[in-house]
Amino acid sequence: MQTKIAFLLVLLLSGCNYSPDKNTKSHPRNDLIKTEGEMVAELTAPPNVPAPVGNRPAKKLKVELEIVERESELSDGVKYIFWTFGGSVPGSFIRGRVGDEVEFTLENHPDNKLPHNIDLHAVTGQGGGAEASFVAPGHKKTFTFKLINPGLYVYHCATAPVGMHIANGMYGLILVEPEGGLPPVDREYYVMQGDFYTKGNYGDPGLQPFDMQKAIAEHADYVVFNGKVGALTGDKALTAKVGETVRLFVGNGGPNIVSSFHVIGEVFDKVYVEGGDLINENIQTTLIPAGGAAIVDFRVEVPSTLILVDHSIFRAFNKGALGMLKVSGDRNDKVFSGEVLSGIYRPEGNVIQEISPSEPKPVRAVALSKAEKIKLGQQIYDRSCFACHQPDGQGLPNAFPPLAKADYLNEDVDRAIAAVIRGLSGEITVNGKKYHSVMPAQVLTDEETASVLTYIYNSWGNNGTEVTPEMVSKIRNSK
Ligand code: HEC
Ligand SMILES: [Cu+2]
């Protein structure tokens, strides 16, 4: 009995884990780290990040960040007045290391209309620097702080009304690397989610003012990565090669919406949870709070187009929270074989599903030009068709027919319009191959249908047909 108690005591004592080493690691006195020399911080616009700190000593780090209020696109054809740190949304990426003494200068461009400031979550001090940096247009303010805690931190404007300044794009990330730097990887990217509130609905063209009521109600019209629908798709997709390690510095500026960050077709080998020291492994989806961040690391093993999404999934396919990472290189059939066999399995029967349409959208007074249709059409394609018909309209063998150089499409425009607005089922032959599947009816306006088809007809070697809303309405009414 006595030996048992003694054994338990030993266990308890060793379980309490007291060791001076551990203690200093979790409570380091980074405020005492001495600096050697000074340097000007490299700042980068998304999706790029400055060079890693490596094993440089702590320094005096000079950061000069300019606030720019400017008009830019929230989506193709949708304009918005963004307020930015450094001209981009999210703002310039700032990278330092523990022990750095930052001399931070915030400049408010003379053409700006409003005062602003900055609250950096990496700062230990009053308001994260908000009071010290409050600056009117045509002025600049300098304050200093020491980077004490390593991690990935959000910064944002904190000028009243705070929500409005953030909603207009005033946020970014500052990375504080640990002593010796983060483990090196082959590629690093900067991705930040944000939600936007406009007077019009998603996709309504023209200059869209901020809508305070929707922001208060948290009814986002747009949820996007890097400030724009499509900022990371098509030719702006991120890239990597098979065998490389990729690190994403992912932030969420909010102002309201929490992100269920996920990459379709990949598993995160490592997640630095909430951007801190805790590393979780083998993660599918990581939660990124508004005003928070995470670092995700993964190795890419096979060629594919990985899709970055907020897995609160309507945001991805209907509000813009979708990006791409194109992985090129050799196949590895052991890791992923692609389709081996396919057949039709349809327990619910062949009924075409229709989503009940919302209120009809107002008809535009002036018809869109062909070029405008193609632009709008590409956006609709990326949102509504691409998941099945694939990025370049190539389709998927035995499942989704191609739209690129498709005889079925090019032969008969009325038939194509009908397929889009009513859906399509039963056997069809496209380019000599038989398909027997179901395409759901697409809930699109006449103009949207005309635009997406015009885009398709004018892409990928198709015959250049221009489809008008009138042609669509004729088919719709001939039911
Ligand atoms: C859920 C998957 C899915 C989505 C989304 C989808 N389609 Fe289809 N589409 C299909 C399938 C499956 C067929 C073949 C149906 C059959 O076998 O009868 C098809 C057939 C077609 C055809 C005729 C065949 C051809 O290759 O020319 C056209 C045109 C077409 N789709 C256009 C579109 C457009 C435009 C959109 C977006 C607005 C879209 N589709 C969205 C699955 C989809
Ligand atoms: Cu501001």
pLDDT for the residue numbered 314: 94
Q: Which of 164, 170, 324, 385 is catalytic?
A: 170
Is 165 among the residues known to form the active site? yes
Q: Which of 69, 84, 192, 262 is catalytic?
A: 262
Query: Which residue CA neighbors atom 29 of ligand 1 most closely?
Result: 416
Which residue's entry shows tokens 């907020």?
A: 310
Q: Which of 36, 281, 354, 392 is catalytic?
A: 281
**Minimum-distance ligand 1 atom for the alpha carbon of 395:** 26
Is this model's pTM higher than 0.95 or not?
no
Ligand at shortest distance from the CA of 169 = 2
Which residue's entry shows tokens 């996709």?
A: 203
Which residue's entry shows tokens 């931190």?
A: 153
Chain-centre distance for alpha carbon 259:
10
**Number of residues that this document lists for the chain:** 479
Could you list the mean pLDDT of each consecutive 10-residue stretch along the chain, which spans 479 residues? 47 42 61 96 98 97 98 94 98 98 97 96 97 96 98 97 97 97 98 97 94 97 97 94 98 98 97 98 98 98 95 94 95 83 58 52 75 94 86 84 96 96 91 87 91 97 96 90
Q: Which residues are registered as beta bridge partners of 324?
A: 307
Domains of the chain: 30-180 (2.60.40.420), 188-328 (2.60.40.420), 370-477 (1.10.760.10)
Is 281 among the residues known to form the active site? yes
Cα separation of 149 and 277, whole Å?
A: 10
Which residue's entry shows tokens 């690391």?
A: 297
pLDDT for the residue numbered 254: 97
